[in-house]
């Protein structure tokens, strides 16, 4: 009697596996297709400042503690992944982009699976709506291809959650271990899982979820031995531990978190129903939503009090969970709103690819990153056309982009005078060094916002709270350095200017 039922069960598993593979193939094809024009896009910002150099140190020299960039507490999970891909397929920017897009495809597929796993009694097409909203999120779009930590952290967060809810605890522990080796703030998830099991009286299983946290100790030991600090360098520790705790900065950081998750991209259309229905629907009182709620809250707090930069990408591990909650809330509304609201949200989210955000955003949050990289490529061609003996002054990250050919901008390194920014103090330093060329660009997307132009008081508040300094444009550069503007290029709100020494 048992043999037919076992055979039927195996057949169903095989069918589910085939269906899952086909659906993953379709998702991966979509993710790769919508990023196709950017497969060879050179690296940008923290990619070329931190994560790609760290991966190159592993790939070229076998050094797990970075030497070509400042080491910090971030574990080497993603640098190891990239080094492995480059070893198998050769080093190229395209190989890097495809390696990250593969992980993003897995993440989108897991968001779909998790929505189905949680959707007991939910009407409509929850999995497809979650997938649509995730793929149309500009932040997810840009981070999907970038060699950074937060999109992969999202992937292993979703995998660990799905495995945990399926009661595959050892595999969930393994996924959590990979998660914390991708990004150290991932320890929040195994801690919450252990707390939930402990609350249910499953003490032995709960203690096992300490293993992912303990697994980081060897990395911290290696950092300590190599740098004398478990944080890798003092500046990183100060900026990410003490700087965010300043009360006004902390409040504004939390407001930015709320804006990104519940207002931006049309998400207010999901946040309002969710706020009304969160306590009313039995669905959200279940065990799995207790886990998701406390993980989301603690993750947001963790990346806020330990993240001086307040980057929106830190929220990626909780973004799909928020979208799932929106979709489930919509499913309990009247039929005409059940489909209208998610589609309206999708349209508003997609508009972020074409319209500037009404609130200042970092370049990497949307396609302004691509526009600035294109300007960097123009600057690189200008640098390569100049005699090799000429010294070029510019600010980070373009200064790093011109120093290494691996970053995709130049065929050979250039002599660069690196500036921290274009503040009057840095321009004065450049003037004393007498470079032959200066490349100025709109470096600060938050400062160069219509919001600060229209409300100058906000710029002064920003200066007092964050110590932000206004960066000089053409007149300041010419007066301070003695260089003269040769030409300027503007595109989509971004601009770049080339200054040369008069002959």
Q: What is the pLDDT of residues 120-141, one digit of tens each?
A: 767 767 889 999 999 999 999 9
Q: What pLDDT, in 10s, does the model give residues 435-454? A: 888 888 876 655 556 666 66
Phi-psi region of 473 (alpha: psi -120 to 50; beta: other; left: phi over 0): beta
Mean pLDDT over 44-68 rounds to: 93
Mean confidence (pLDDT) of the chain: 88
DSSP for 81-101, written as a single string: HHHHHHHHH---HHHHHHHHH
Mean pLDDT over 455-471 rounds to: 65
CB 65 within 8 A of CB 219: no
| β strands within 247-405, DSSP E | 392-395
Q: What gap in Å lies between CA 231 and CA 306, rounded to an integer? A: 12
Q: What gap in Å lies between CA 42 and CA 480, rounded to an integer? A: 31
Q: What gap in Å lies between CA 409 and CA 419, rounded to an integer? A: 18
Please list, residue by residue across 130-152, b when 16 or more beta carbons sit within 10 angstroms of its beta carbon and e when fewer do.
bbbbbbbbbbbbbbbbbbbbbbb
Mapping DSSP to helix (H, G, I), strand (E, B) and coil, where does residue 439 land? strand
Is residue 95 over pLDDT 90? yes
Q: What pLDDT, in 10s, does the model give residues 331-384? A: 888 888 888 999 999 999 999 888 777 677 888 998 988 989 999 999 898 888
> pLDDT grade, residue 466 (50/70/90)?
low
Mean pLDDT over 104-133 rounds to: 89
Is residue 297 over pLDDT 90? yes
Which residues are registered as beta bridge partners of 489? 496
Tokens of 452: 């600060």
pLDDT for the residue numbered 424: 82
CB 320 within 8 A of CB 245: no
pTM, to two decimals:
0.91
pLDDT for the residue numbered 491: 78
Domain ranges across the chain:
22-356, 367-501
Alpha-helical segments (H) within 228-316: 234-237, 247-262, 268-277, 287-305
Phi-psi region of 270 (alpha: psi -120 to 50; beta: other; left: phi over 0): alpha
404 φ/ψ angles, rounded to the nearest 5 degrees: -135, 130
Kindly report which listed range (78-87, 409-418, 475-484) carries the lowest average pLDDT score: 475-484
Please list, residue by residue across 65-97, b when 16 or more beta carbons sit within 10 angstroms of its beta carbon and e when fewer do.
bbebbebbbbbbbbbbbbbebbeeeebebebbb
Which residues are registered as beta bridge partners of 357? none
Residue located via tokens 């497809």: 128
Residue from 376, 369, 410 nearest 395 by CA: 376
pLDDT for the residue numbered 307: 81
Domain 367-501 is in which class?
alpha beta
């Amino acid at each position: 009697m048992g043999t037919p039922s076992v055979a039927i069960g195996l057949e169903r598993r095989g069918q589910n596996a085939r269906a899952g593979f086909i659906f993953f193939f379709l998702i991966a094809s979509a993710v790769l297709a919508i990023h196709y024009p950017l497969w060879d896009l050179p690296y940008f910002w923290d990619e070329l400042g931190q994560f790609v150099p760290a991966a190159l140190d592993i790939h070229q020299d076998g050094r797990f503690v970075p030497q070509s960039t400042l080491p910090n507490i971030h574990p080497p999970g993603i640098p190891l992944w990239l080094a492995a891909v480059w070893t198998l397929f050769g080093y190229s920017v395209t190989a890097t982009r495809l390696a990250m897009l593969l992980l993003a495809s897995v993440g989108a597929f897991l968001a779909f699976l998790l929505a189905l796993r949680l959707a007991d009694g939910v009407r409509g097409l929850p999995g497809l709506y979650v997938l649509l909203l995730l793929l149309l999120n500009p932040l997810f779009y840009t981070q999907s291809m970038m060699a950074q930590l937060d999109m992969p952290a999202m992937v292993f967060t979703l995998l660990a959650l799905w495995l945990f809810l399926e009661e595959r605890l050892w595999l969930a522990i393994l996924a959590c271990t990979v998660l914390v080796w991708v990004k150290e703030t991932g320890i929040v998830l195994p801690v919450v899982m252990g707390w939930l099991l402990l609350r249910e009286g499953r003490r032995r299983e709960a203690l096992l979820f300490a293993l992912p946290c303990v697994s980081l100790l060897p990395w911290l030991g290696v950092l300590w031995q190599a740098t004398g600090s478990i944080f890798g360098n003092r500046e990183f520790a100060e900026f990410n531990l003490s700087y965010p705790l300043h009360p006004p900065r902390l409040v504004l950081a939390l407001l930015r978190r709320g804006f990104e998750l519940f207002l931006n991209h049309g998400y207010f259309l999901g946040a309002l129903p969710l706020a009304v229905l969160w306590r009313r629907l039995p669905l959200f009182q279940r065990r799995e939503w207790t886990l998701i709620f406390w993980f989301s809250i603690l993750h947001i707090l963790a990346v806020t009090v330990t993240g001086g930069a307040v980057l929106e990408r830190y929220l990626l591990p909780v973004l799909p969970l928020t979208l799932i909650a929106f979709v489930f809330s919509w499913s309990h509304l009247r039929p005409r709103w059940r489909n209208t609201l998610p589609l309206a949200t999708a349209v508003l989210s997609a508009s972020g690819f074409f319209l500037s955000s009404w609130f200042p955003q970092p370049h990497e949050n949307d396609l302004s990153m691509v526009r600035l990289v294109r300007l960097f490529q123009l600057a690189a061609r200008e640098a390569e056309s100049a005699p090799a003996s000429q010294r070029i002054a510019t600010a980070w990250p373009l200064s790093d982009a011109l120093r290494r050919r691996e970053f995709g901008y130049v065929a050979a390194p250039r002599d660069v005078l690196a500036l921290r920014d274009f503040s009057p103090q840095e321009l004065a330093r450049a003037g004393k060094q007498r470079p032959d060329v200066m490349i100025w660009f709109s470096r600060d997307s938050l400062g160069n916002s219509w919001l600060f132009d229209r409300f100058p008081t906000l710029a002064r508040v920003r200066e007092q709270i964050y110590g932000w300094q206004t960066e000089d444009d053409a007149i300041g550069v010419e007066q301070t350095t003695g260089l003269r503007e040769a030409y300027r290029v503007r595109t989509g709100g971004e601009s770049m200017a080339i200054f040369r020494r008069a002959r």
